[in-house]
A = this chain, B = another copy of it.
Amino acid sequence: MTSSASNRTVSYEALHEFTKAAFLSTGLSETDGTTGADALATTDAWGVFTHGTKCLAGYLRRLQLGGLRPRGVPRVAAEGGAWALVDGDSALGQVTSVFAMQTAIAKARQQGVAYVGVRNSCHFGAAGYYTWLAAREGFIGISMANDIPSVAAPGARGAIAGSNPISSAVPAGRYRPMLLDMSTATVAGGKVYAARMRGEPIPNTWLVGADGKPTTDPTGYPQVGALQPAAGHKGYGLSLLCETLSGILTGAAVTWQVGTWMWDDGKQSTNHGAAFIVIDTNAIMPAAQFAARMEALIDEIHAAPLAEGATQLRVPGEMEWEHHTRAMTHGISLPEDVVASLRKAAEMTGVAPEWLQ
């Protein structure tokens, strides 16, 4: 996430404009193109480059080939007092997920709490984008999703479930929302792959090899081996909770039924599932009291004694907000792999801004 000679700095606005134009070129509506660009550019502004505009080219491919429907319209397929199921109609995952989160916020405004499950969606990018949408309106947001298996279970030889992410965001008074966004795998597969490319060994907590045992050898990944779940049975258990709320209960695809959004022919729906839970803090506790209690918690953490060598104690999301502040002032310094992916997106769409030349 640091600048280098090959990084390219671009303003949030320029990155957003390009992303939106690329989406529109495939037939997305003005509104949906904006929604998609909001999500991807914000994610880059947080410095979460694995889930921002780096994914744009992959989404465009599906939009052009039909696996994602440019004019898909997510709708509430079933609902009750404090819940709804959303059918994504194979629209862009971000469009469906924003619709679902907005539905959950509206329900929570009525009932205090809501669960909204999603089917017929696709890769939704950063789970934290949706929980932030809730937190900035004063709600506690929780989001999760399933994905094609890439992570082993304790005792398994190969992948059992996806790297199923979980996010939570909590409004925090004068502070930016406390924002957790984690995968239930130990590390992102991309880190293993990068070590392989560099010819370096990896810590033995990242991967299991062909025999299902921990290995320091990334050779052959991702064809050989599976990621280890975060904290062993804990990450595995949380992953299956994601699978349940995102996949089982929604009617979405489950484990190996989930389509790969990057490596297939691009013509079919991946049928990813997702789940959103929202709690209306204002219904439960006066806003000023909740804010004061969150501020006190954060102040306490900021004032706590540091480990030797540590320079700062942060609450979840604080690093991303620091990155965001710098990005909105000085521009987003895009890593080389993101720039390469954006160039591909430009080629695919004919939308080629000057800053990308």
Chain A interface (Cβ < 8 Å from any Cβ of B): 78, 80-83, 85, 110-115, 117, 140, 142, 152-153, 155-158, 160, 166, 168, 170, 178, 180, 182, 186, 208, 211-213, 230-231, 233-238, 240-241, 243-245, 248-249, 251, 254-256, 277, 279, 281, 283-285, 290, 293-294, 296-297, 300-301, 304-316
Decide if B153 touches A82 in the complex (CB within 8 Å): no
Decide if B254 touches A293 in the complex (CB within 8 Å): yes
Q: What is the chain B residue whose CB lies nearest that of A311?
A: B155
Chain B residues, Cβ within 8 Å of A316: 233, 236-237, 240
Decide if B248 touches A297 in the complex (CB within 8 Å): yes
- Besides the known contacts A83-B112, A157-B308, A212-B306, 4 further A-B residue pairs in the complex with CB atoms under 8 A apart: A142-B241, A152-B307, A156-B306, A180-B238
Could you tell me the distance in whole angstroms from the C-beta of A5 to the nearest C-beta in chain B? 30
Decide if A294 touches B240 in the complex (CB within 8 Å): no
> In the docked arrangement, what's the CA distance between A152 and B277, Å?
28
Decide if A304 touches B241 in the complex (CB within 8 Å): no
Decide if A155 touches B314 in the complex (CB within 8 Å): yes
Please provide the 7 A-B residue pairs with the shortest distance between their CB atoms, ordered closest to farther: A212-B307, A180-B237, A81-B111, A155-B310, A83-B112, A82-B111, A82-B82
SS of A interface (majority): mixed
Decide if A82 touches B112 in the complex (CB within 8 Å): yes
Most buried by B among A142, A297, A309: A297
> In the docked arrangement, what's the CA distance between A171 and B140, Å?
26
> In the docked arrangement, what's the CA distance between A231 and B230, Å?
6
Decide if A153 touches B112 in the complex (CB within 8 Å): no
Per assembly, the copies of the chain total 2
Could you tell me the distance in whole angstroms from the C-beta of A54 to the nearest C-beta in chain B? 22
Decide if A240 touches B290 in the complex (CB within 8 Å): no
Chain B residues, Cβ within 8 Å of A111: 80-83, 111, 113
Decide if B157 touches A304 in the complex (CB within 8 Å): yes
Q: What is the chain B residue whose CB lies nearest that of A241?
A: B168
Decide if A243 touches B297 in the complex (CB within 8 Å): yes
Chain B residues, Cβ within 8 Å of A297: 240, 243-244, 248, 254-255
Q: What is the chain B residue whose CB lies nearest that of A80?
A: B112
Q: Which of B234, B245, B283 contacts A140 (CB 8 A)?
A: B245
Q: List 10 A-B contacts (CB under 8 A).
A: A80-B112, A113-B114, A152-B307, A153-B304, A170-B248, A212-B305, A231-B231, A248-B294, A249-B281, A277-B277
Decide if B156 touches A113 in the complex (CB within 8 Å): no
Decide if A212 touches B310 in the complex (CB within 8 Å): yes
> In the docked arrangement, what's the CA distance between A290 and B314, Å?
41
